[in-house]
Copies of this chain bind each other. A is one copy, B any other.
Amino acid sequence: MIVRQPVGVGCSRRDFVKASPAVAAAFLAIPRAPQPPTVDGDRVNAILADFRRFGGTPDGGTTRLAYSDDDLACREYCAGVMERAGLEVSIDLGGNLIGRRPGTDPAALPIVVGSHIDTVPAGGSYDGHVGSAGAIEVALTLNDRGIALRHPLEVIIFPNEEGGKTGSRALVGRVAPFELDVVTASGFSIGEGTARIGGDPARIAEAQREPGSIAGFLEVHIEQGAFLETDGIQIGVVEGIVGIRRWAVTVTGMQNHAGTTPMPQRRDALVAAADLILAVNEVANTMPGRQVATVGRIEAVPGAPNVVPGVVRATIEIRDLEMGRISLIFAEIQRRVRAIESDREVTIALDPFYETLAAPTDPRFRDIVEASANGLGYTNVRMPSGAGHDAQSMAELGPVGMIFVPSRNGISHSPDEYSAPDDITRGVNVLLGSVLALDSAG
């Protein structure tokens, strides 16, 4: 077949057909992969804009403390939209706001999607919001298009994620009785707050669900870091939520007069602490892996300009997707600490005081999320979540997957938190695609 006009990649369909009708016909007859279904991007971003009516601040951020009036009002708003999406709305004993959509298979376990809407004080308008608006938008889209899923679908808005992941932890029976008396930033105790939002603190233990009682949980969330933005990638396929361990550090040297104590006679706890800070940083940077380690807090005692510090208190935090790597890193830090003790003639105590276990996402779910992103033509990369999420609680009920969208400048927990509307839309499209893939996979 002689092609008389220049035709190449990128030429229009019309030119192609004109240039070579037969080839074009043969080509165009090849069944093409159907475009994946997408959500209504304008609508999900409109929901986000609506959220700002409840606690949005003039600087663009949001202060919507768990259990506050703004929290109650925003949850009410969500319940309304959920109902318009055809969901059956209820509130469980832990205060979780649940919108349910039956599936066609009575034996199928629910697919759960959701996130949180409470914020830190002077927080942003995207952390948790994107996942909550996104989950609701998935339900709206399925409803619009009359798509019936085999599995039931549950959209959950978990309460008090920022103050302890109370809602999602109630679903896995991990809210201890003493927590009900803990007073949150809103001024209400967790027990009082749970009642305010329609739960029942006295019966919160009954909110617990059985492990294996869900088909899976999927959450879309802002990255809260700058990895995606720095590398120009549109979607993060989350490998899991890192485990965290923290130690209280106490360096003991000898307090002394800063004027009359010659340098060689000092046992300066802050000099030794400086060695330790650099050791932690160096070990985290040089050991292979994607771990992070941080000395975030420090205090010298007595803390006067004219006194050689006799005691220094600090904290070390290590995070990684594998608890084993955290142990490895800590073991190396301990080795270096022994050397510092000897070198600086101090004693250094490292006392563990906090731990959360790593929560890997399900490998199958990573594949589903990745395939969904690829099918939509979005660049994507596998990465860990350095921050905790409701998904890590849900991981005790069944397989979980998480989807990240880029955070501008990696900023979070700040009014400057921002993700672009198109990025958000892409993330929710991947969520929808993953739900559908999970539904058909079984």
Q: Write the residues of chain A forming the contact surface with B, with a CB cutoff of 8 angstroms.
A: 223-227, 230, 242, 244, 246, 256-265, 268, 270-271, 273-275, 277-278, 281, 284-285, 290, 292-300, 303-309, 315, 317, 319, 354, 385-388, 410, 412-413
Across the interface, which residues of B come within 8 angstroms of A230, CB to CB?
265
Question: Which of B262, B298, B317, B387 is close to A300, meaning CB atoms less than 8 Å apart?
Answer: B298
Per assembly, the copies of the chain total 2
A110 to chain B, nearest CB (A): 29
Q: Given A270-B295, A294-B308, does the pair A410, B303 have CB atoms closer than 8 Å?
A: no
A364 to chain B, nearest CB (A): 25
Across the interface, which residues of B come within 8 angstroms of A242, CB to CB?
259
Closest chain B residue to A300, Cβ basis: B298
Q: Given A290-B262, A305-B294, does the pair A281, B277 have CB atoms closer than 8 Å?
A: no
Across the interface, which residues of B come within 8 angstroms of A260, CB to CB?
223-225, 227, 385-387, 410, 412
Across the interface, which residues of B come within 8 angstroms of A304, CB to CB?
296-297
A287 to chain B, nearest CB (A): 10
Distance of A226 Cα from B305 Cα, bound (Å): 20
A217 to chain B, nearest CB (A): 20
Cβ A227 vs Cβ B262 within 8 A? yes
Q: Given A257-B224, A270-B277, A271-B278, does the pair A303, B297 have CB atoms closer than 8 Å?
A: yes
Cβ A258 vs Cβ B296 within 8 A? yes
A312 to chain B, nearest CB (A): 8
Secondary structure at the A interface, as helix, strand, loop or mixed, is mixed
Cβ B309 vs Cβ A305 within 8 A? no
Distance of A187 Cα from B274 Cα, bound (Å): 37
A225 to chain B, nearest CB (A): 3
Q: Given A281-B268, A299-B299, A307-B296, does the pair A388, B224 have CB atoms closer than 8 Å?
A: no
Across the interface, which residues of B come within 8 angstroms of A315, CB to CB?
305
Closest chain B residue to A255, Cβ basis: B414
Across the interface, which residues of B come within 8 angstroms of A256, CB to CB?
410
Across the interface, which residues of B come within 8 angstroms of A268, CB to CB?
281, 294
Distance of A292 Cα from B261 Cα, bound (Å): 8
Distance of A224 Cα from B227 Cα, bound (Å): 55
Question: Which of B274, B297, B388 is close to A274, meaning CB atoms less than 8 Å apart?
Answer: B274
> 19 more A-B contacts (CB under 8 A) besides A270-B298, A296-B300, A297-B304?
A244-B259, A244-B306, A257-B386, A259-B387, A260-B386, A263-B293, A264-B285, A270-B295, A270-B296, A271-B278, A271-B281, A273-B277, A275-B278, A294-B306, A296-B304, A297-B303, A297-B305, A298-B300, A298-B303
Across the interface, which residues of B come within 8 angstroms of A305, CB to CB?
246, 294, 296-297, 315, 317, 354
Cβ B263 vs Cβ A284 within 8 A? yes
Closest chain B residue to A230, Cβ basis: B265
Distance of A230 Cα from B262 Cα, bound (Å): 12
Distance of A284 Cα from B230 Cα, bound (Å): 42
A–B pairs, 8, beta carbons within 8 Å: A259-B385, A261-B386, A273-B274, A278-B278, A294-B307, A297-B304, A298-B300, A305-B354
- Choose among A298, A307, A387, A412 the residue with the greatest number of B CB atoms under 10 Å from its CB: A298
A333 to chain B, nearest CB (A): 14
Distance of A277 Cα from B274 Cα, bound (Å): 7
Cβ B307 vs Cβ A292 within 8 A? no
